Amino acid sequence: PRAILFMIPSGKPLDAMLAKIVPLLDKGDTVIDGGNANFHDTRRRSAELADRGLHFVGLGVSGGEAGARFGPSMMFGGTPQSWDRLKPILTAIAAKYQGDPCVDLLGPDGAGHFVKTVHNGIEYADMQLIAEVYGLLRDGRGKKPAEIGKMFEKWNSGRLKSYLMEISGKVLTSSDPKTGKPMVEIIVDAAGQKGTGRWTAIEALALGQSATTIEAAVAARSWSAVRETRALGEKLFAARPVSDAPPLDEADLEVALLAARIIAYAQGLSLLAAASDEYGWSLDLARIAEIWRAGCIIRSAMLDDMARAIRAGLPQGVLFFAPEFRDDLDRAQNSLRKLIAHGALNGLPVPAFAAALAFFDSMTRARGTTDLIQAQRDFFGAHGFARLDDGTTGQHGPWTMG
Ligand code: 6PG
Written as tens digits, the pLDDT of the chain (402 aa) is 999 999 999 899 999 999 999 999 999 999 999 999 999 999 999 999 999 999 999 999 999 999 989 999 999 999 999 999 999 999 999 999 999 999 999 999 999 999 999 999 999 999 999 999 999 999 999 999 999 999 999 999 999 999 999 999 999 999 999 999 999 999 999 999 999 999 999 999 999 999 999 999 999 999 999 999 999 999 999 877 677 777 789 999 999 999 999 999 999 999 999 999 999 999 999 999 999 999 999 999 999 999 999 999 999 999 999 999 999 999 999 999 999 999 999 999 999 999 999 999 999 999 999 999 999 999 999 999 999 999 999 999 999 875
Ligand 1 atom having least distance to the Cα of 197: 16
Determine the residue of 10, 36, 61, 74 to mutate for testing ligand 1's pocket, defined as the one with the most ligand atoms within 8 A of the Cβ atom.
Answer: 36
First to last CA, the chain: 73
Distance of CA 240 to the CA centre of its chain: 32
Contact yes or no for 152/129 (Cβ under 8 A): no
Q: Which residues are catalytic?
A: 116, 123
In this prediction, residue 193 carries a pLDDT of 93
User: How many whole angstroms from 264 Cα to the centroid of ligand 1?
Assistant: 17
- Residue type for position 392: T
In short, whether 212's Cβ falls inside 6 Å of ligand 1 is no
Q: Whose CA is nearest to atom 17 of ligand 1?
A: 193
- 296 CB near ligand 1 (under 6 Å): yes
**Integer CA distances (angstroms), 65 to 32, 84, 89, 107, 145, in order:** 19, 27, 19, 26, 25
Given the CA of residue 296, which atom of ligand 1 is nearest to it?
7
60 close to ligand 1 (CB < 6 Angstrom): no
Q: pLDDT value at position 386?
A: 98
Ligand 1 centroid from CA 292, angstroms: 14
CB atoms within 10 A of CB 52: 13
Residue nearest to atom 8 of ligand 1 (CA): 62
Report the alpha-carbon distance of residue 127 to residue 214 in Å, rounded. 10
Is-contact 80 105, C-beta < 8 A? yes
Does the beta carbon of 193 sit less than 6 angstroms from any atom of ligand 1?
Answer: yes
Atom of ligand 1 nearest to the CA of 195: 16
Q: Measure 166 CA to ligand 1 centroid, in angstroms.
A: 17
| Ligand 1 pocket member 290 (CB < 6 A) | no
Q: Is 63 in the pocket of ligand 1 (CB under 6 A)?
A: yes
How many CB atoms lie under 10 A from the CB of residue 90? 22
Return the best residue to mutate from 196, 214, 218, 298 for the ligand 1 pocket (most ligand atoms within 8 A of CB): 196
pTM score, whole prediction: 0.97
